[in-house]
Structure 1
Amino acid sequence: MNRILIIGGTGSIGRLVATRMAELGHRPRVLTRDPAHAQLSLPAAVELTAGSLADPTALRTAVQGIDAVVMTHGAPYGSDDYAAVDYGAVPAVLDALDGHRVPVVLMSSIGVTATGGPSRELLDWKRRGERLLRASGLPHTIVRPGWFDAGNGPLQRVDLRQGDRIEYGPVRRDHVAETIVQALLTESATGRTVEVFSVDGPAVTDWPGAFRAAEPDRPGDLDGARDRPGPHLRTEPERVRADLRHLAPTLPDTEI
């Protein structure tokens, strides 16, 4: 793996991922509306490509020659752009890839399988993005961060869990970024959905073992391995069903 496209690479997690990948000798590429501004906060080794998620031509240019995709995007809370951004980035990137099989690491959120709450609309759209990525058949890892932030104590370590148990709590942003980076570099992360939290203890050194301890997503299942069952696709918005018909061709029409 060498060239990695980062969607959301100017955000708080995306910048950390881009920086870390550059430190490890990889070639991160960041899609950004404003390259001149982005270069102020990113290392010189990060390639910047101009464009937005709403521009199919820019996206097709951005995915040329890439070996993997990281998606750390997200609309501002309260912006009402969740359908267009938190969900919409997933079909936009899958469409731009046009069948090119590369690993995709998607940052989602804990709580996507819960019901109710003030963030329900945001979380529902994030879950729809997760389900579309799984249905696409691409090699994937889905990372669901806990609540930002847990501080920066040196004795805190990454704790990977499953089942979308939101009560486990907070996470450091650098722990989220490192989990995403290691998911790119670790074969045993492929095909898994994990929640990431920060707890006291020494740093994780056996990332392959940490990912192997997580149950893999079941082939053909739209939901994560230990998730609560999601809604039937026939109850989903038509745009989601249309994206599934277009981007998940192996999904039976009777399911949509």
Structure 2
Amino acid sequence: MENWTSFFKNTPDFIWNIVLVLIAIFIGLLIRFILTKSIRLYYRRTKVHTFPEIIKRLYRPAGFFFPLIIINAAIPFMKMDKIPLANTDRIIEVSLMVAFAAMLISTIKVFESVIYHIYDISQENNLKARRIRTQMQFVRQLLVAIIVVLTIAAILLSFENMRKLGTGLLGGVAIGATILGFAAQQSLGNLLAGFQIAFTQPIRIDDVLVVEGEWGRVEEITLTYVVLHIWDQRRLILPISYFIQNPFKIGPEALQTF
């Protein structure tokens, strides 16, 4: 015990901190390794589709998240002056926010992949599958956008200067929001149209459409635009509000009049 106490006291601060960080990283990666091995072992027994997706989507963000948690726990043991220690703590805090957001986004993608596996559009009777996929794609994009915005907001609010700046600008928020609303009318219209299409579903993923004199299949529906895979391998990209404001032909029958 005395040897450890002597080592702790005599080790240079810089070396001690580096060793502490390296140990924390090792422990974090070890946790990821153990979890990955456990999931793979369980997958061999159950063959549940979810487990490979968990490893595929979460392996990389977990490689940042777990070490950062351990480093955060080790900060009180670092040999630093008060100000550098506070700055280090803030950096780790922000990094943890970003890593946690990445974990959440990857988890959403795991869930999306599971839904895609359950609702396979390669089957002949795939109307329900295409409907679910269309909704899931839109919900995933919306959730990811919300997570990104909330993460950025949390990072900014974690800084004292940013909080003061936010308080000072609070009086101009209403005016700024009004100006932004007028400037972004078309974008907001597209976003609302995206909500309408996602849940009323006049079009779905893999639908056959005739639009602007071109025919193809709906390849992607995002928050603001739709990608149509044209028969000659081109892509036609249209704002999502187009499908609310303009007539279009849908279904294989549309090709008969093309």
More helix by share: 2
* Common fold by TM > 0.5: no
More strand by share: 1
Q: TM-score range by the shorter chain?
A: under 0.3
Q: Could you tell me the TM-score, scaled by structure 2's length?
A: 0.21
Task: For CA contacts below 8 A with separation 6 or more, give which structure has more relative contact order.
Answer: 1
Q: Could you tell me the TM-score, scaled by structure 1's length?
A: 0.22
